[in-house]
Structure 1
Amino acid sequence: MAYLNQLATLPDKNITYLKYKDTYYVIYNYAYKRNANGNPQSKKITIGKLVDKKSRLFQPNENYLKVYDKPQFIKEEVDCSKIPLSAVKYTRPEGLLQLVQTIAKELELDVMLRKVFGSDHHYLMSLATYMLCCGNVMKGYERWANKHYLPTSLCMNDKRISDIFSQVITQEKRHQFLDLWSQKASSENFLAYDSTSISTSSSIIEAKLGFNKENDKTKQINLGILYGYDSRLPFNYSWYQGNIVDKSYLKFMLSLTKNLKDKKITFVMDQGYFSSDNLKTIDELGNKFITFLPRNTNLSRQSIDEISELKLGYTDLVPGFKTVKCRTISSELTGMKCNLHVFLDPDKQIELQSDFEEYLQYEEKALQDKIKEKVVTKKTCKYFKIHQEGKTEYSYERDIEKISYEYNRLGYFVLITNNLDLTSGEVLEAYRGKDLIEKAFCDIKTNLDSRRLRTQRSETTNGKIFVMFIALILLSALRNRIRHTEIEYKYSLTNIIEELDDIKLFVTDDEKVLHPLTTDQVKILNELNLDIKV
């Protein structure tokens, strides 16, 4: 039975579904009657297959026209098969381009880029769309632009793209745009800040050997990003030398967000940014902070010592976190009033204690081997006491005090904040919510294919990272659109982008005709609430 080249609305009555493999077939039931046992039965006929139950769409077959004399097609389609091939001038991939235009308009991203860069903003949007689709290897851009039949001015070769990066995207214009864009963050309650390393083989002065977070042994630069909790969008970024430690750079990053001064915004950071000076700077800007208090600080040790001596019970449970418990200690840090939220995660405690026991067993076995080989030093392991008996003879004993001290404090951690109005549950929820910025870094390195820079000059690098940031805004907005929809886990972001980019228009001298959509494309467009305009 042939399927029609149209979609229709599901009938309201006499419809059931039959699943075969991954397809749901729409069954029309008729001629109802009861059999000898009094049970209802009917005749059945397949009238199509389900496309989107939520939107009540299905693709009918010829039986549909036999059953219904007034078919409910969702729109009149042009039969592409009736267009002679000689009349088709070209076929243009359209879906992704229209999605980007829609997102840019909704976020006012296109307005801000046009305000700063004038007519050159078209170059930036086109390059960002290419990154969204193909990654950051710009060598393939010209071919991609020609395939999408972009205006001739946007079909740029490598040399022209390099000029855009280095000459059009100037430092002044970058800062002007970021000032405009980051103003949108003033309505956020929480902002996450974190950084990642990006490898490069270039000789730019900022590329240094440092602590690479992916254990890549090449030179790197560090990229710091400020991310909004409510909008789930990036608002600012800065990149810096690969050998600068994160907490040393935070003050400079904060200086780029002066338009957020005195706003009721809480910065959420991990322990890599903890220092008294950094927290004091945030406080002096009139903002709030939440960060992990490193375990090696006196403040952390003292607070965990105090709480671990108590027996936390039912009344200490943190609402919404099952078994996690907490006590709050009021404290001061460089004159700032702060709350220390000391948490105990019993499930994590069991896991950490088990790992600690394995570690001790491994260290003890290694120590026994060293004693046999007579190559022991007194600093062999901090959890064992070494005794020298003669010149080359050694014995040992477990340092019960140190082992017990460490063992009993596993599973505890401290979050420090100057936002005294937040409950322990709100503090923990905000801190755990910063994993959204980890997803952003994953998007940069995986979906935008930017584990490496592939640039040779600082000026070019500045421009390319700026376009990467624009692409990240678009990608984050796309992720927001699919969040909590039926396609969130059914398709990857890459699959969605590929399906959208495969939606084509046939262009003739007289008209533009949308190529028939696949089932996946229809479902994606419906969930994204996107109509392809012809």
Structure 2
Amino acid sequence: MGLIYVPNKKNGITYVYESTNYWDKDKKQSRSKRICIGKLDENGNLIPSKRLTATMASQPAKQGPVPSTNIKHSYYGATYLFDAIGESLGITDDLKTCFPENHKQILSVAYFLILEDRNSLIRFPKWDRTHYHPYGGCISSQRSSDLFASITEEAKARFFRLQGNRRMENEYWAYDTTSISSYSESLKQVKYGINKDNDPLPQINLALLFGEESGLPFYYRKLAGNISDVKTVKNLLADIDWLGLRKVKLVMDRGFYSEDNINALYQNHLKFLMASKVSLKFVQQELNKVRDNIRTRRNYNSTYQLHSHTTMTEWHYSQERPYKGDVIKDKRRIYLHIYFSGEKALEHETRFNAMLDMLEAELISGNRNPEHEKQYVKYFDIISTPIRGIKVTPKQDAIAKAEKDYGFFVLISNEIKDPILALETYRNKDLVEKAFGNLKERLNLRRTAVSSESSLEGKLFVQFVALIYLSYLKKQMSEKGLYKSYTMQELLDELDVIEAYENPGSALRVGEVTKKQSELYKAMGVTPPNTL
């Protein structure tokens, strides 16, 4: 069975016939039977005939690929990959559950963001004309704005809950924040704060929770741009409780450290691994005990080229109970992991001496910087006389005090006892930094220009969905060593050229797949598509 296109010279219309070959026993030859199923419009799309429309409406639904009503061929290979990943990770089912009316549009926009690296959604109509995707239709600029505005907080929270429950119970979840600069002056949470990209614009902050073993994000929260990291932990714990997530283990950098936050983690019975400042009193007490003897062969790890030591000590826990008007005080077990890196010590010392050189030069030249006055006094004795001018003498005791902790860093945990395992777990949180890089660069979120709160919220969510796919691809490519031969864009381009053919009344037909493309699908954990 095939399609035949017959142009009518009188009216200029091209009619489409479905041709079926059969064997004529009487005439002993092959014959064909044609049935008109419609005509082509100006764009080459099929306008079904009344007979075809009635036939399709009367036929019961069948399992399997949905028959097409258009004559079209489109790029399909990357879409097939994303569809398979979405099924495997439960993204498709969870979106359908939470967004029954527009889940296909969400997926199509997410696919576009991944494939069209750094391109604006203004280009979606052009992309739609050449690509097969879940929604199967054009999403104009106005329609995308309506889509973003329709994404509710309730539906997002349900999606986070479903995705969170799919993650492994025993893995650590890395938590971190980033800043997103904004041109908009109408968004309430756009504030000036500590911009992690050194961008002079005001910003919003974005907090992200990321499974270290799965390599996948499953929760985010938008924050005002002037909120510091340390203030976000208690709301994170409240969200975790509200989402119904259990057996949570968090890994965070030292920007989240405070006594109140550690107490809150203990109070909520959560496991944690966190970096902290070496200058803290309880850290200094333990560090002073091992400062002179940590650099032994027994404490050396050749993989990371550093020395380590672990001490089990006590955390002085306190909990205020407003309803009773008292404070519970107790002691909790905590593991303090101390590390010394000669390479880091050299870096710190070199940087410190460069700063001292700069300060001394400013003092001698008389070009003092008002912002450096405290440092001048801290590290130098300064004598000025009319005859000899300015004489600068380093305060060696102050300099030695500053240098004594160079090369040391610490991690604290209420679960991990081994220092190297703690270090490996902590370093895996780099996944979050790389995820932020994907959001800002590949998904075009370094600076946002949206002007309404609802559009920003909805767009962030769709970009977050796209980030899940990107994170999966990155993890698979890293594990299979594919970055030696491909960038992510090159891999997606290699698969994207596979075409699919749509014919009225027929299931989607996939074009040729090369051996290389088939191997790439398998490396991504996906079964290659069936072809004729």
Is residue 188–residue 230 contact of structure 1 (8 Å, CA) maintained in 2?
A: no
* Seq. identity, %: 27
Aligned to 2:193: 210
Query: Which sections of structure 2, spanning at least 5 residues, go unmatched?
Result: 1-43, 47-69, 318-330
Q: What displacement does 1:150 show?
A: 4.9
**Aligned counterparts, 1:72-471, within 5 A:** 89-134=71-116, 135=118, 137-150=120-133, 154-167=137-150, 169-185=151-167, 187-202=169-184, 203-258=186-241, 263-310=246-293, 312-318=295-301, 320-328=303-311, 330-334=313-317, 335-370=331-366, 380-389=376-385, 393-419=389-415, 421-471=416-466
1:318-348: CA deviations, max 9, x gaps?
4753433324251324343322211111222
Is residue 183–residue 260 contact of structure 1 (8 Å, CA) maintained in 2?
A: no
**CA spacing shift, 1:259–1:426, aligned 2, 3 Å:** farther
**CA spacing shift, 1:365–1:303, aligned 2, 3 Å:** farther
Is residue 136–residue 450 contact of structure 1 (8 Å, CA) maintained in 2?
A: no
Aligned to 2:491: 496
Is residue 341–residue 424 contact of structure 1 (8 Å, CA) maintained in 2?
A: yes
Query: Cα RMSD over matched residues?
Result: 3.1
**Residue number among 525, 528, 531 corresponding to 1:531 in the alignment:** 528
Q: What displacement does 1:379 show?
A: 5.3
**CA spacing shift, 1:152–1:397, aligned 2, 3 Å:** closer
Query: Which sections of structure 1, spanning at least 5 residues, go unmatched?
Result: 1-84
- 1:438 partner amino acid: E
Secondary structure of 1:155 counterpart:
coil
Is residue 320–residue 425 contact of structure 1 (8 Å, CA) maintained in 2?
A: no
Secondary structure of 1:230 counterpart:
coil
- 1:160 partner amino acid: R
Secondary structure of 1:112 counterpart:
helix
Aligned to 2:478: 483
1:64-123: CA deviations, max 9, x gaps?
xxxxxxxxxxxxxxxxxxxxx999943211011111110111111111111122142112
Q: What displacement does 1:370 show?
A: 2.4
Q: What displacement does 1:311 show?
A: 5.1
Matched positions, count:
446
Measure the CA separation in 1 of the matches of 2:313 and 2:387. Answer: 53
Measure the CA separation in 2 of the matches of 1:316 and 1:115. Answer: 52
Is residue 232–residue 436 contact of structure 1 (8 Å, CA) maintained in 2?
A: yes
Measure the CA separation in 1 of the matches of 2:132 and 2:418. Answer: 55
TM-score after normalising by structure 2: 0.76
- 1:408 partner amino acid: K
Measure the CA separation in 2 of the matches of 1:513 and 1:248. Answer: 54
Measure the CA separation in 2 of the matches of 1:508 and 1:378. Answer: 77
Measure the CA separation in 2 of the matches of 1:401 and 1:218. Answer: 41
Is residue 164–residue 245 contact of structure 2 (8 Å, CA) maintained in 1?
A: no
Q: What displacement does 1:377 show?
A: 6.3
Q: What displacement does 1:358 show?
A: 3.0
**CA spacing shift, 1:272–1:136, aligned 2, 3 Å:** farther
Is residue 303–residue 329 contact of structure 1 (8 Å, CA) maintained in 2?
A: no
**CA spacing shift, 1:346–1:328, aligned 2, 3 Å:** farther
- 1:175 partner amino acid: A
TM-score after normalising by structure 1: 0.76
Is residue 92–residue 148 contact of structure 1 (8 Å, CA) maintained in 2?
A: yes
Is residue 371–residue 395 contact of structure 1 (8 Å, CA) maintained in 2?
A: no
Measure the CA separation in 2 of the matches of 1:501 and 1:220. Answer: 35
- 2:102 partner amino acid: D
Is residue 305–residue 341 contact of structure 2 (8 Å, CA) maintained in 1?
A: no
Aligned to 2:327: none
Is residue 261–residue 286 contact of structure 1 (8 Å, CA) maintained in 2?
A: no
Measure the CA separation in 2 of the matches of 1:399 and 1:221. Answer: 43
Measure the CA separation in 2 of the matches of 1:378 and 1:495. Answer: 52
Aligned to 1:79: none
